[in-house]
Amino acid sequence: MVLDKFILISFPIILLINFLFVRNYQFLFLKKTRDNQFHKPQAFHYISTPRIGGFLIFFFIIIFLIIFAKKNLFFSQIIYLGATFFFLGFLEDLKLNIKPELRLFLMIIFSFSIIYFLDLKINNYQFSTLNNFINSNKIISSLVVCLCLIFIVNGCNFIDGFNGLLIIHTIIILGILYFINSQNYNSGLINYFIFFFIIVCFSVLIFNFPQAKIFLGDSGAYFLGATISLLTIEISNSNKETSPFFFACILFYIFFEVFFSFFRKIIFLKSSPFKPDKKHLHMLLYEFVFSKFKKKRLANYITSILVNLFYFFLITPLFFFYNDKVFCQMYFLFLLIVYLLIYLWLKEKLVLSS
């Protein structure tokens, strides 16, 4: 089969192209993406580093979709929405310094318009009353999908500051989606796409972790967030026996980082939710690890590994009960409690040690 051969030979070719881009980006327009802001809250680098990881991922994914995904509505959604978020992020990578409020406004306007036009919806919210209310009105349905998309996209951007954290997390989520889609006999082109996506992410991870030669950039975080969201919606819609809360659980960590941060800043800090700080869960964990090892880069690497190991450990029980709607619903609440307790524990530990 053409797809089998394509995927078989793709990894070494992608790796070679990535290597050439990393070595020669300064001769292209990509040189403008160099990150030399060494004093921002999530800066762990000491030399100018290009934010071209997102460009590379977007480049390979679009090639795959153009070759193999003609006249496919779902892949059209990825092209239109993925490209929209990618270019919004890429403008920031090129240091055009668009205000966060304006970026958010543009995200909402563009994504809502595309979602409405393509009639993208979540078919099952697990509760019939909620289903009927949301899906009975196209505007409401499109707005809900738009808000879900915005949360995940911005959540991905929140956790992108640490080497490998977002890419490893993305690979784990893609692996889970591949597993679910295979178990429910809905494999095929989507699973080929997911497998190719994993290959592309891994090829970029090699240059991003442990020591970063490239960063994902806002374009990469936005594109990964949008594509993960769309894949989750598509697989949820096509695997009707699987609990919608299962999919909410696998996206929970990303959701928690942005949702909790948003309300923490507004309610407790009385500050703008767009103002960056060092109080996100992964940053508190970093401070805790740093207090033990006293090495900035090492603490960065360990934090990325710990966050994803803990996430995978928490998600593992769901593999056995993904069709159990009540269990998945209760497990979502369990995850909320666990992450809140971890956050409070880390915060207390850091206060006591300071």
- pLDDT tens for residues 2-50? 677 777 788 888 888 888 888 877 766 677 777 666 455 555 545 667 8
Work out the angle between the directed axes of helices 165-183 and 189-208 (0-180°, nearest 10). Answer: 160
pLDDT of residue 125 exceeding 60, the answer is: yes
pLDDT of residue 155 exceeding 70, the answer is: yes
* 73-87, 147-161, 236-250, 252-266: least confidently modelled range: 252-266
Please confirm whether the linkage preceding 210 is cis (ω < 30° from 0).
Answer: yes
% the chain with pLDDT above 90: 38
pLDDT of residue 84 exceeding 90, the answer is: yes
pLDDT band at 353 (very low <50, low <70, confident <90, very high): low
CA distances from 152 to 211, 224, 225, 284 (A): 26, 9, 6, 21
| Percentage helix, strand, coil for the chain under 3-state DSSP, each rounded to 5 | 75, 0, 20
Cα separation, 150 vs 40, in Å, equals 24
How much is the pLDDT for 91? 87
Cα separation, 339 vs 344, in Å, equals 9
pLDDT of residue 211 exceeding 60, the answer is: yes
At 258, list the tokens: 């942005």
* 81-85, 261-265, 298-302: least confidently modelled range: 261-265
